[in-house]
Amino acid sequence: MSSNRNRRFFLKSMAAAGLVAGAGSANANRDVPLHPSDLGLTGKGYINPRKVLLYECTRREIRERLAAGKLKAALVPTGSTEQHNEHLAMIMDSAGALVTCQQAALQIYPKAIVTTPVSIGISPHWMNRRGTLSLKKETFVNVVFDICESLKGHGINTILIVNGHGGNVKPLNEEIGNFRDKLGINIDNCSYWDSIDKELGNKLMETKRWPDHASEFETSIALAAFPERVRYRGIDPNYWDHADYDGRNGAAWDKKTFGESKVASAEKGEQIITHASTWLAQKLLGMIG
């Protein structure tokens, strides 16, 4: 398959999933089939990408999948709503976790469902950038726990929390043992970029850094899956010295990150998403057993 054709298939799957601009309007209430090769699926048949998103399902659809013993596990995406420099939407961390979870669930459909993302994380380090929202550690951890407890209540006893924000990593790692003890289920956590080893990262990333905030790595993912969230037009090149930019994450960091984002590409993003989602699918299959 040519690279151009692969890109068309990739973007088609993103659009059908409601992850790119213009999706979800005319076809919002239709069951839009795509061929499995368009989605990189490992199974057979035609699957609407929305079917693996819990919040897009009806109660009947979830109930029947559970009753039939087809729904075995859940993916819980976590991220943030925080500044991503001048060019990238604040939802980037949450959107990155969601798209990799969704593509992973499609690969093992109908075994897994993707919950509503936890789209505000622990981001006090970015509060000097206007628009950032932040939760206290205990609030964030409690929200994630309550989601997992809800899933257990519905009979889902295998859960993988998939993180997309650096500020959430340590708290999730610290609390996952407590989650297991309290819930008594098969539960684990990771960040989607854990899938990328040094060899692959160095091959894909010109900057040799990942998952560097708002730089080549994240901008590539956005260009691949939701390009409308990358907006370079109208940026003031003299804004870096504004008073809002201070401390260790000051103007020098912003200028560097912004410059490195310019070597991002949709092709790199597609490779990241494809690799990460396949890794997540295999990890979850291993948990299901």
Judge whether 201 lies within some domain: yes
- pLDDT attached to residue 14: 62
| Residues β-bridged to residue 230 | 88
- pLDDT attached to residue 27: 36
- pLDDT attached to residue 46: 63
- Measured between alpha carbons, how far is residue 169 from residues 85, 95, 138, 162 in Å? 21, 16, 14, 10
Chain centroid to Cα 68, Å, comes to: 28
Judge whether 103 lies within some domain: yes
**DSSP state, residue 115:** P
Phi, psi dihedrals of residue 88, rounded to the nearest 5°: -120, 140
Write out residues in the chain with pLDDT < 70, as ranges: 1-46, 241-249
Judge whether 245 lies within some domain: no
Judge whether 244 lies within some domain: no
- pLDDT attached to residue 33: 36
- pLDDT attached to residue 249: 53
- pLDDT attached to residue 248: 53
- pLDDT attached to residue 165: 98
pTM confidence score:
0.87
Give the span between the Cα atoms of 79 and 165, in whole angstroms.
5
Domain encompassing residue 219: 3-233+250-288
Judge whether 25 lies within some domain: yes
Judge whether 239 lies within some domain: no
Domain count for the chain: 1
- Classify 133 as helix, strand or coil: strand
Judge whether 111 lies within some domain: yes
Assign residue 22 the CATH number of its domain: 3.40.50.10310
- pLDDT attached to residue 45: 56
Give the span between the Cα atoms of 215 and 260, in whole angstroms.
6
164 contacts 192 by C-beta, under 8 angstroms: yes
